[in-house]
Amino acid sequence: MLRVLRIENFALIDQLELEFGAGLNVLTGETGAGKSIILDAIDAVLGGKVSSRVIRTGTSRSLVEATFISDSALAAWLSEQEIDLIDDNLVIVSREISATANNIRSRSRLNGVLVNRQIMTELRERLVEITAQGQSVLVGQSSQVRDWLDIYGGNAPTQQRNAVASAYAAYQQAHSALEQRRTSDRERLQQLDLLTYQVQELGAANLCYPDEFEQLQQERERLTHVVDLQQMSYKIYQALYQSDGDAPTVTDLLGDSEAALTDMVEYDSQLQPLLDLICDAQTAVCEVARQINAYGENLEADPQRLEEVEERIRELKQIIRKYGPTLADAIAHYNRTQAELAALTDSEQSIESLEKQEKICLDRLTKACSKLTQLRRVAGDKLEAELIRELKPLAMEKVQFKVEITPVAPTATGADKITFMFSPNPGEPLQPLSETASGGEMSRFLLALKACFSQIEAPDTMVFDEIDVGVSGRVAQSIAEKLHQISHQQQVLCVTHQPLVAAMADRHFRVSKQVINQVSRKKENNGYGEERTVVRVVPLENLTQRRDELAQLAGGKSAQDAIAFANSLLTQAENHRKNKISSS
């Protein structure tokens, strides 16, 4: 329930704080007095669309804050969002709107916590429902009518609608897979041919290790230069160990040096490390000489092996040129291609299999839609009876109403087109409500519809913006009583021009425009004078104030007959309340 509404710099409102109560809260005032601005502020604080025009001229920031009293369901939802209540049962929603040179920005808070638009949308559904005569557009939208009917039907249609949505998603997935398979079959076959060829070519190449190409190049160089390598090996061996001529070898020189150092160590032991190094060098040179000699002796010319190496190098060059730039890249491509080919051949379903799966999913969707249609027919029959019952006290005793359900192609919301059919006069055929009802009839229909919804799960606060436009007399009285009836289940906020409706209020507020003197600190720069128009709201807390306001609504001036009429309205409203209390 909305307890307090605080507004700053919103449209024509500079500062305003309203305290609402349970039951029927009525806002009255002359046309253009700013009543709808207050409802716009409620819409804005709960995440409604805003523009820079809502920011009061001459300011850069608007603020709307609404305090609600929570119930157990709302408290549980807040707990899921990890947001605490204030003082155990209060929910404070605020929205700050600011304008810059190029855009508009807003921030919403819930009990002081910044929240996003999705949270605000969910919160709005739990707090407030706003009804205006402009909703006649929604009545003509099959999707909106369908949503209303499903909500009215309760848990069963809602759960079945979720089942339909799941079945539709499965069908769409199966259908998409089939269509994709059909349209891409030629590309798939081409891809299969290409991958098969590549796998065969790379497999035949027997690619074993990434550095094979470099190793083969080294082997080719060795086989090509066998004679040179033999000659150089023998030359190194002679220089190191055994010379054919008179020139001393490296081992000879190292031996002479070792002998000299051995003699020197006898006189100076500090030279022992140098002697050790000479000995190690002698040993190393001898080992090098032995290995180089063995290397040279084992070298043999092998023209056949050289031809094999040359052929393998040519083969690998071709592979690298196609799948490289390196042999490692070619091997990686081979592995990827094998995996892709396996995916196309092993896991790809045939068209026949996909067609079978699509049919299974379509059958499931059709059955789910059929069950949802049956539930909607049950809900529609119930809504027809209850709505006609709610319309009769609104001076529509002979009204006919039917929920028409027409089959359409299955969607995520079912296979039904739903239309509200309506005939206000006996003998006239049923026609779509949005095309048939007058403004007054549409007002009464929307009110009766909300009365039906008030019996099921609905927000604690319902807002009606001039729902009584286009009616008068007995019909206006019926609307007033219906609003008062709804206010027994939910808090009702109502903007009205009808004195019959205003007389039924539990709380009555008069809205008016006033011109005030406001000193501008930068008058010469911003161009605004001292006179500014503002909206003021006064709670009418005694019978005299209410009588005068009702007289103003009824007669346009406080004439004696208008005052008498206002007194009679207040008396009639009080009698109506007493009768309702005694009957209950």
Using a pLDDT cut of 70, give the percent of the chain over it. 92
Highest mean pLDDT among 19-28, 99-108, 131-140: 19-28
* pLDDT tens by residue, 351-364: 788 889 999 999 99
Residues 465 and 131 sit within 8 Å (Cβ to Cβ): yes
Look at residues 128, 161, 126, 168 and name the one whose alpha carbon lies nearest to residue 41: 128
Residue 584, pLDDT > 60, answer no
Calculate the average pLDDT of the chain. Answer: 85
Look at residues 19, 46, 231 and name the one whose alpha carbon lies nearest to residue 122: 46
Look at residues 312, 324, 331 and name the one whose alpha carbon lies nearest to residue 207: 331
* pLDDT value at residue 63: 94
How many angstroms separate the CA atoms of 233 and 296, rounded? 5
At 133, is the pLDDT very low, low, confident or very high (cuts 50, 70, 90)?
Answer: low
* pLDDT tens by residue, 196-254: 888 888 888 888 888 888 888 888 888 888 888 888 888 888 888 887 777 788 888 88
Out of 89-98, 211-220, 439-448, which region has the weakest mean confidence (pLDDT)?
Answer: 439-448
Q: For the residues 323-336, what does the mean pLDDT come to?
A: 89
* pLDDT value at residue 272: 92
Residues 109 and 128 sit within 8 Å (Cβ to Cβ): no
Look at residues 406, 404, 433 and name the one whose alpha carbon lies nearest to residue 417: 406
Does the predicted TM-score (pTM) go above 0.75?
A: no
Q: 53 phi and psi, to 5 degrees?
A: -70, -20
* pLDDT value at residue 469: 73
At 174, is the pLDDT very low, low, confident or very high (cuts 50, 70, 90)?
Answer: very high
457 CB-contact burial (10 Å; exposed 0-12 / middle 13-18 / buried 19+): exposed
Residue 520, pLDDT > 70, answer no
At 17, is the pLDDT very low, low, confident or very high (cuts 50, 70, 90)?
Answer: very high
Q: 278 phi and psi, to 5 degrees?
A: -60, -40
Q: Where are the domains of the chain?
A: 211-325
How many angstroms separate the CA atoms of 335 and 85, rounded? 60
Residues 461 and 128 sit within 8 Å (Cβ to Cβ): yes
Helix (H, G, I), strand (E, B) or coil at 428: coil
Q: Where are the alpha helices (DSSP H) in 400-465?
A: 433-436, 439-453
At 385, is the pLDDT very low, low, confident or very high (cuts 50, 70, 90)?
Answer: very high
